Amino acid sequence: MNAEKVINLGEACIEEALKIVAEQGIEQLSLRDIARRLGVSHQAPYKHYANREHLLAEIVKRCFADFSNHLDSRPESCHPMEDLGNLGHAYLTYALTKPLQYSLMFGSSLPDPGKYPEMMKQARHAFSILKDAITRLDDKKNISEIEINALFVWSTMHGMAGILQNHVAGQLNLSVDLKTVAIPKALDRIRIALEAQIANLA
């Protein structure tokens, strides 16, 4: 192992951990295997990470930070409903282009947030992006209504992401294309539902 890699062992552990998870699944992740693959002593990774859970918490924290940055960088719109649609597209784009990171955040058991509070900091920021977008639709809503609507939008996008990532949908002989038809329709139905609620509360 060269000197640069030794100096950056903490980063090398993260890179190798992601490779292991991608190749073999999160269940096979271990610091000992990472050390073996990097060609260092089995104790070397422990200088950076106390245990497997510590390493995984750092990886998940970075995934949420990357995810939040992606949502924040969506095309901005002064029209609240259009901005919410852009946010939905950004969510699905991330899920499809970075399936490993998406799975680590939303499809696996997370380390205990009580032990690793920094892990969820960017997760809360990502959710606040969604809540802010919904608040701009109608700032008269109370926080409970905003959060319920945010969970409704999130669950719809999460479900759509799961369908798009699953090979089963491609075997159902659907008459519509998921990406070009189903996604816009799903976003449109979210718009209809939220606009109807706003009208009823007016």
- 3-state SS of 82-112? HHHHHHHHHHHHHHHHCHHHHHHHHCCCCCC
CA distance 91 to 87: 6
Residue 2 has pLDDT above 50, yes or no: no
- On whether both 172 and 72 belong to a single domain, the answer is yes
Task: Return the pLDDT at 200.
Answer: 74
Return the SS3 of 81: helix
When mean pLDDT is compared across 26-40, 57-71, 148-162, 167-181, the lowest value belongs to 167-181
Residue 5 has pLDDT above 50, yes or no: no
Task: Return the pLDDT at 202.
Answer: 54
- On whether both 64 and 44 belong to a single domain, the answer is no
Per-residue pLDDT, averaged over 103-121, amounts to 92
Please give the biggest Cα pair distance in the chain.
Answer: 66
CA distance 197 to 200: 5
Residue 4 has pLDDT above 50, yes or no: no
Which region, left, alpha or beta, applies to residue 25 given φ > 0 means left and ψ of -120 to 50 means alpha? Answer: left
- Residue at 55 is within a domain: no
- On whether both 176 and 116 belong to a single domain, the answer is yes
- On whether both 86 and 182 belong to a single domain, the answer is yes
Task: Return the pLDDT at 201.
Answer: 61
pTM for the model: 0.88
**For residue 178, what is the domain's CATH number?**
1.10.357.10
- On whether both 66 and 41 belong to a single domain, the answer is no
**For residue 22, what is the domain's CATH number?**
1.10.10
- On whether both 71 and 162 belong to a single domain, the answer is yes
- On whether both 39 and 78 belong to a single domain, the answer is no
Residue 171 has pLDDT above 90, yes or no: no
- On whether both 82 and 43 belong to a single domain, the answer is no
The boundaries of the domain holding residue 122 are 60-201
- On whether both 97 and 19 belong to a single domain, the answer is no
